[in-house]
């Protein structure tokens, strides 16, 4: 669509109107990623429109990772159409290559560029991708920016692969918790018990840091504590919390209650975070990826409701098994929910996990 636009100036107003409509609905990649409705409606767009979307300077995103995440969902739901049943002047490989050329590689996080992108089947050509990622990781273009310009001018690499800048971040896309997330937004869900064998950069958009809110009621916490204490050694109860797509990663958080190994009759109650399970098989890297993360955990205290003054900044390698922080509420394990009364407000324990950085 951009090519036609540039060669036919008389169509400028038409294409401006189309772009305005496109961006009004799908103009924030983070909002699209976190909405089932928008994700499904986006999946019905033809490749010409999707290509226009990814090329648009108006497209907002909390990270270029999220643009890849949205496109990967679109590609997975259009396997039979892209280069398939419908007649198209370009082959499937040619079509997806056109999408790939618009991904801004320098704006991807380290893990996306060096590990995840290699497993995104539609991102082509792979040989050229590996060369570009190796050059970007070498630091060459920091020392010699003109070398990137030379390679792009020579047609060796697409402009976006070496010179692409971060997209504008939408102030509201990461700050507010979506009501219809691609996962399940909201508070922590019911506790489920497992045995001992079961288990756990890019900056945020402009505005507030992206966050996940975890909640659990006193009664369900006490029931979970009692259940874990009655179980075999190593028994754990997990409250599966909300899922949010943040900077291209599907993150799930919740509470975990685990028997304290060195204190009989006591447990650790800890917030935890992990990659959400990919039930649709659209993003297979969730099963094996490991991402360096910095997270700020914040809890309100009963003597200052609404003020999340109890904080801790933690660093962890996030994976598809929970990473928990058992000493967040205090160094000692507990035997009942009453020992957490200093953090319970209105009968609920609430923690906010703010994502500071995902590498």
Is pTM beyond 0.95 here? no
Predicted confidence at residue 236, as pLDDT, reads 82
Report if residue 119 sits inside a domain.
Answer: yes
Residue 125: asked if its preceding bond is cis (omega within 30°), the reply is yes
Q: 334-350 pLDDT, tens per residue?
A: 999 999 999 999 999 99
Interval 76-90 mean pLDDT: 55
Report if residue 244 sits inside a domain.
Answer: no
Report if residue 247 sits inside a domain.
Answer: no
Report if residue 73 sits inside a domain.
Answer: yes
Report if residue 175 sits inside a domain.
Answer: no
Domain count of the chain? Answer: 1
Q: Which one is predicted more confidently, 279 or 272?
A: 272
Interval 1-26 mean pLDDT: 68
Report if residue 351 sits inside a domain.
Answer: no
The pLDDT-based confidence of 197 (bands split at 50, 70, 90) is very low
CATH number where 73 lies:
1.25.40.420
Q: 98-109 pLDDT, tens per residue?
A: 889 999 999 999
Interval 34-57 mean pLDDT: 92
**Domain hosting residue 107, numbered range:** 10-154
Predicted confidence at residue 91, as pLDDT, reads 56
Looking at 280-284, 287-291, 292-296, which range is the least confident one? 280-284
With a cut of 70, say whether residue 59 has pLDDT above it: yes
Report if residue 266 sits inside a domain.
Answer: no
Report if residue 177 sits inside a domain.
Answer: no
């Amino acid at each position: 669509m951009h090519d036609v636009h540039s060669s036919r100036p008389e169509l400028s107003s038409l294409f401006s109107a189309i772009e305005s409509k496109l961006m009004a609905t799908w103009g924030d990649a983070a909002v699209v990623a976190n909405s089932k409705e928008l994700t499904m409606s986006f999946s019905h767009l033809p490749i010409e429109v999707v290509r226009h979307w990814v090329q648009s300077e108006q497209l907002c995103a909390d990270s270029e990772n999220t643009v890849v995440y949205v496109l990967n969902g679109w590609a997975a739901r259009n396997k039979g159409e892209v280069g398939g049943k419908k007649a198209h002047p370009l082959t499937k490989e040619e079509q997806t290559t056109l999408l790939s050329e618009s991904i801004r590689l320098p704006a991807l996080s380290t893990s996306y560029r060096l590990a995840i992108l290699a497993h995104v089947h539609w991102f082509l050509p792979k040989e050229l991708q590996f060369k570009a990622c190796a050059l970007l990781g070498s630091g060459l273009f920091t020392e010699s920016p003109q070398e990137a310009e030379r390679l792009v001018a020579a047609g060796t690499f697409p402009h976006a692969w070496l010179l692409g800048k971060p997209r504008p971040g939408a102030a509201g896309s990461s700050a507010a918790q979506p009501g219809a997330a691609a996962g399940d937004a909201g508070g922590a869900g019911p506790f489920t018990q497992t045995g001992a064998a079961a288990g756990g950069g890019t900056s945020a958009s402009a505005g507030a840091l992206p966050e996940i809110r975890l909640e659990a009621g006193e009664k369900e916490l006490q029931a979970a504590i009692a259940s874990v204490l009655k179980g075999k050694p190593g028994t754990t109860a997990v409250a599966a919390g909300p899922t949010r797509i943040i900077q291209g990663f599907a993150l799930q958080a919740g509470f975990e209650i685990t028997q304290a190994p060195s204190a009989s009759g006591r447990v650790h109650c800890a917030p935890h975070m992990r990659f959400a399970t990919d039930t649709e098989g659209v993003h297979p890297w969730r099963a094996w990826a490991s991402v360096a993360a910095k997270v700020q955990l914040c809890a309100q205290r009963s003597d200052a409701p609404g003020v999340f003054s109890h904080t801790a900044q933690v660093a962890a390698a996030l994976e598809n098994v929970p990473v928990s922080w058992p000493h967040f509420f205090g160094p000692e394990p507990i035997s009942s929910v009453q020992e957490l009364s200093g953090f319970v407000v209105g009968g609920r324990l609430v923690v906010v996990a703010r994502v500071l950085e995902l590498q």
